[in-house]
Amino acid sequence: MAQMEINMKKLFNGKISILWRIALVIMLIGMFIVNPIGTSVSYAAVTVTRALPPTVSPGQTFDVTITFTAPANNFIPALTDFAPTGWTVAVDKTWCAPPPWKSNTVINKAEYLWSDPVNQGTAFTAVYKVIVPGDAPAGNYNFTNGTLEYYMDIAGTVEGPFIDNVTGASQVTIADTTAPTVVPPTIPANGATNVAVNTNIEVTFSEPMNQTATEAAFSSVPSMGSGTFTWNGNTMIFR
């Protein structure tokens, strides 16, 4: 097994997603009989669940936690997950239980590879960190294409590889913390006098508004009485 570990380390060049299969096959040949290529195998999919904070801030570093459980004996997994495009990730084997054999990052991609087979029921927790760009604008950001690829024992034979998708939370939100402003000119103009009370009022805002809340906050002095609101893009019109 010591020689097997050396061979696997030589094969690894920082790209788990391609070379981990080769390493696993080498290890499996020395330990088990792998199912012949082309044989159909029935198996229950592994539930792989991602947990995320609902909201984050520009410049923040936060944890992504992925959990799953070995569905059979001789279970050997490899995990890949993707943060939003343009964001970066960090990995560390000490953040996972059980600790993986290898970890790797490629910009927004996090990868963990385990090499020691575990028994059915073994619980896995994999954590990686995501760094939000300091200039990330407000909006919703998605985590996509996460997969768990693995070998396992089925009826006394090690089968695989199998692939299941990462499920669970898939989106974080950067809240808009910048207050909107009024974009001049307004109608009537700011500071205008002798304006008839039946004049339409038009106010344009610097960003999309919560229309119901904005209308509720509207008032005039003197009161213009009852009226109706309409919207043209970011412009509120009271008539």
Domain assignments of the chain as residue spans, ordered by start: 2-36+44-174, 182-238
Backbone phi and psi for residue 30, each to the nearest 5 degrees, phi listed first = -80, -15
Residues 152, 77: Cα–Cα separation, whole Å: 9
Q: What percent of the chain has pLDDT over 90?
A: 65
Residues 229, 89: Cα–Cα separation, whole Å: 47
Cβ-contact 238, 228 below 8 angstroms: yes
Residues 34, 82: Cα–Cα separation, whole Å: 30
Kindly tell me if the per-residue pLDDT of 226 is higher than 50.
yes
Sign of CA dihedral 203, 209, 212, 217: negative
* pLDDT interval class at 144 (50, 70, 90): very high
More confident position, 98 or 221:
98
Q: State pLDDT tens for residues 10-62.
A: 333 344 444 455 455 445 444 444 444 444 555 678 999 999 999 999 999 99
Residue 137 preceded by cis peptide, ω within 30: no
pTM of the model: 0.67
| pLDDT average, residue stretch 120-137 | 96
More confident position, 15 or 75:
75
Name the fold adopted by 2-36+44-174: Immunoglobulin-like (2.60.40)
Q: State pLDDT tens for residues 145-165.
A: 999 999 999 888 889 999 999
Q: What percent of the chain has pLDDT over 70?
A: 82
pLDDT winner (highest mean) among 110-119, 174-183, 208-217: 110-119
Residues 10, 23: Cα–Cα separation, whole Å: 9
Residues 52, 172: Cα–Cα separation, whole Å: 7
pLDDT confidence of residue 26 = 47
Residues 172, 53: Cα–Cα separation, whole Å: 7
Joined tokens for residue 9: 């380390």
Q: Cα 88 vs. chain centroid, distance in angstroms?
A: 12
- Comparing C-alpha atoms, which of 219, 217, 223 is closest to residue 198? 223
Q: Using the 8-state DSSP alphabet, how is residue 118 labeled? A: B
**Residue length, the chain?**
239
Joined tokens for residue 148: 């768990």
Cβ-contact 237, 231 below 8 angstroms: yes
